[in-house]
Structure 1
Amino acid sequence: MEKVRFTEEKATMLATLYGRALDARSARPILGDQAADEAVKQIDYDFSKLGVTPDMGLTVALRAKPMDEWAADFLRKHPDATVVHLGCGMDSRVHRVDPPPSVRWFDVDYPDVVDLRGRIYPDREGYRTIGSSVTDFGWIDEIPSDKPGLVIAEGLTMYLRPSEGEELLRRLIAHFPQGGEMVFDTFSRLGIKLQKLNPVVRKANATLYWGIDEISELERLGLTLVTKLDATDYATPEAKERLSASMRAQLWLVGLIPAFKKMGRILRFRF
Structure 2
Amino acid sequence: MAPEKVRLTAEKATLLATLYGRALDARSPRPILDDRLAAATVERIDHDFSDTGMDQRMAGSVAIRARFLDGWAREFLARHAEATVLHLGCGLDTRAHRLDPPPSIDWYDVDYPDVIDLRRRLYPEEHRTIGTSVTDLGWLDQVPAGKPVLVIAEGLFYYLDPAEGRALVRAIVDRFPSGQFVFDALSPFGLRLQKLNKPVRKAEATMHWGMDGPADLLSISPKLRLVTAMSAFDLPGYGSLSASHRISVGLAKVVPGFRRMAAFYRLEF
TM-score normalised by the chain length of structure 2: 0.96
**Would you identify which runs of 4 or more consecutive aligned residues in structure 1 move more than 4 Å?**
none
Distance 2:65 2:24 in 1: 14
Q: In the alignment, which residue of structure 1 is the partner of 2:230?
A: 229
Distance 1:58 1:220 in 2: 34
What is the aligned counterpart of 2:250 among 239, 252, 263? Answer: 252
Distance 2:251 2:6 in 1: 38
SS at match of 1:152: strand
Distance 1:160 1:148 in 2: 24
Report Cα offsets for 1:60-111 as digits up to 9, x if no partner: 0101111101111111111210000000000010001110011000000011
Which AA in structure 1 matches 2:257?
A
Report Cα offsets for 1:160-179 as digits up to 9, x if no partner: 11101100100011110x20
Distance 2:104 2:236 in 1: 32
Q: In the alignment, which residue of structure 1 is the partner of 2:179?
A: 180
Distance 1:235 1:261 in 2: 15
Distance 1:77 1:134 in 2: 26
What pairs with 1:89-168 in structure 2 (closer than 5 Å)? 89-124=91-126, 127-168=127-168
Identity among equivalent positions (%) equals 54
Report Cα offsets for 1:165-224 as digits up to 9, x if no partner: 100100011110x20111011000001112201111111111111001120111122321
Which AA in structure 1 matches 2:236?
A
Q: In the alignment, which residue of structure 2 is the partner of 1:84?
A: 86
Q: In the alignment, which residue of structure 1 is the partner of 2:53?
A: 51
CA RMSD in angstroms comes to 1.1
Shift of residue 245, structure 1, vs aligned partner: 2.5
- 8 Å CA contact 2:25–2:59 kept in 1: the answer is yes
- 8 Å CA contact 2:151–2:181 kept in 1: the answer is yes
Count residues with an aligned counterpart: 265
Q: Which moved more, 1:44-53 or 1:215-224?
A: 215-224
Distance 1:187 1:33 in 2: 25
What is the aligned counterpart of 1:9 among 3, 8, 11? Answer: 11
SS at match of 2:16: helix
SS at match of 2:145: coil
- Please, which runs of 5 or more residues in structure 1 have no aligned partner? none
Report Cα offsets for 1:209-250 as digits up to 9, x if no partner: 1001120111122321112220211233xx42x322222221
Distance 1:79 1:39 in 2: 30
Distance 1:106 1:112 in 2: 16
What is the aligned counterpart of 2:70 among 54, 68, 71? Answer: 68
Distance 1:35 1:79 in 2: 26
Shift of residue 135, structure 1, vs aligned partner: 0.8
Which AA in structure 1 matches 2:19?
L
SS at match of 1:206: coil
SS at match of 1:65: helix
- Please, which runs of 5 or more residues in structure 2 have no aligned partner? none
Q: Which moved more, 1:155-164 or 1:28-37?
A: 28-37
- 8 Å CA contact 2:214–2:229 kept in 1: the answer is no
Which AA in structure 2 matches 1:96?
R
Shift of residue 6, structure 1, vs aligned partner: 0.5
Which AA in structure 2 matches 1:134?
V
